[in-house]
Amino acid sequence: MQPNIVLIMADQLAPQFMQTYGGAGITPHINALAERGRRFDRAYCNSPLCVPSRAGFMSGQHITKVAAWDNAAEFPSSVPTFAHYLTSLGYRSCLSGKMHFVGPDQKHGFTDRVTTDIYPSDFVWTPDWTNNDERIDIWYHNMQTVAESGTAIATYQTDFDDEADFSARRWLIDRGRDKAVGKGQPWCLVASYIHPHDPYVAKREFWDLYDDDDIPLPELEMAPDKLDPFSRRVADGVEATIQPMNREELIRARRAYLANTSYFDDMVGKLVATVEEMGETDNTIFIITSDHGDMLGERGMWFKMSFLEHSARIPLVIAGPGVAQGADDTLCSLIDLLPTLTDMGGGVERYAQPIGGRSIWPACQGNSFEGEVIGEYCAECAGAPVFMIRRGDLKYIHCDLDPPQLFNLALDPQEVRNVATDPAYTEAAAAFAAEVLDRWDPATTKAEVIASQQSRLQLHEMMDTAGDNAWDYNPPRDASNEYVRNHHDWVATATRARFRPLKP
């Protein structure tokens, strides 16, 4: 029997700040899923930025294969996604919430999409490596966002997530109604939220779960001149080097982030409860993850855009039928989820395009294995492609503009000792350097990125001049057929809508 799938995605949620992974963020619902399922402790994004990361997640391909360079890179309709494959396996699929698709295709294989997105779907957020030191104030992160952290009754982010939460649960109930009248089929819901992404502004009920005295300060403080060159470019880009946060601001921002982590966990709990009420728990696999992490003041850095652990690592919890209990140290990443999902659904004979990921379904069943993680970053503040290889205890980072970095995470989990030139690591560093050149052509990739940026910058200007050419998704709605209308049989409508139905 094919299981139902509920995949719940946060935005910018680093596992280091979650109770599930030993952090301070109160997450009882995710904890409960981890206790009865599998918690992956070495899961990563493949690019520490929203659009590239999500393109890899949806396609199972590395970002350089699908040209998902940055937050304004179009995701082509010709790229198959896990939604397409699940449809071919008989699933009905739904996206509720954020996926940040750029381009006119705003569904990418999902049967249903029940909300709009929260960010622009056009080329307005295109960076420009030909002016890499020029700040993009209209849409770029800065420290004012952090300085204004706190509480509010509502923000555009809570408006969005509240709608995505309600719409996801209503879609689930509709699947229960379908099954009640004999029209059921396996389903996959992707509920994707914007929290705890900055701005760090929380609802009071979640803020009050914490006390200022209990908020952990950054474990590692680092002066700007001690940062590696790429980290310094990112810190300069978000203005962290010219507007450092004081202790009060740090506590307020981190408290709001933790509060929004609990807000996300609360929505997880509501979805789990809805599936339980439907009677589908025993046939539903839950997956909890994020698109990337958040530095949240570590080293004086904020947000993402880095392959350091707080930015690049993600939570990954999987629970449901066939999933073994326990922690798992298999190295894995978001591109592994496409083959994992298709395996859960019964498997496909062949993939329409080569995928870069590897199914972790065997690990979910208790058969851990030696994996690897490949990362690529080609967006703002970089100036040249940044490549990362994580294998075993070692992480290697390459950028043509910077000295190479090599960290032994078993001995140096805070990544403060670059051993790329350490004689004890000469052989490993040389092997990684050769592998980078074997996998990629950095100069060619840089030229492709700049050519794409220049084309999109000009296209955006022309589209903006032409007027309203927005690709933003407008969910279809037919109000004249909702609830009870003049052409409806009231009794039939009430019977159909009541879930669970009365027993005959």
Active centre residues (catalytic):
50, 100
User: The dihedral of CA 376, 377, 383, 387: what is its sign?
Assistant: negative
* Cα Rg of the chain, angstroms: 23
Q: How far apart are CA 408 and CA 410, in angstroms?
A: 6
How many other C-beta atoms can be found within 10 angstroms of the C-beta atom of residue 41? 15
User: With 0-12 CB in 10 A as exposed, 13-18 as middle and 19+ as buried, what is 418?
Assistant: middle
Q: Tell me which residue has tokens 């104030």.
A: 137
Measured distance CA(18)–CA(39) in Å, rounded = 12
Residues 6+ apart with CB under 8 A from 143: 238, 239, 240, 243, 244, 245, 302
Tokens of 296: 């949240």
Number of H helices, E strands in the chain: 15, 16
- Orientation angle between helical segments 50-59 and 337-344, nearest 10 degrees: 40
DSSP, collapsed to helix, strand or coil, labels residue 168 as helix
Cβ-count burial of 354 within 10 angstroms (0-12 exposed, 13-18 middle, 19+ buried)?
Answer: exposed
What span, in angstroms and rounded, lies between the C-alpha atoms of 347 and 232? 44
Per DSSP, 255 falls in state H
Contact at 8 Å (CB) between 354 and 339?
no
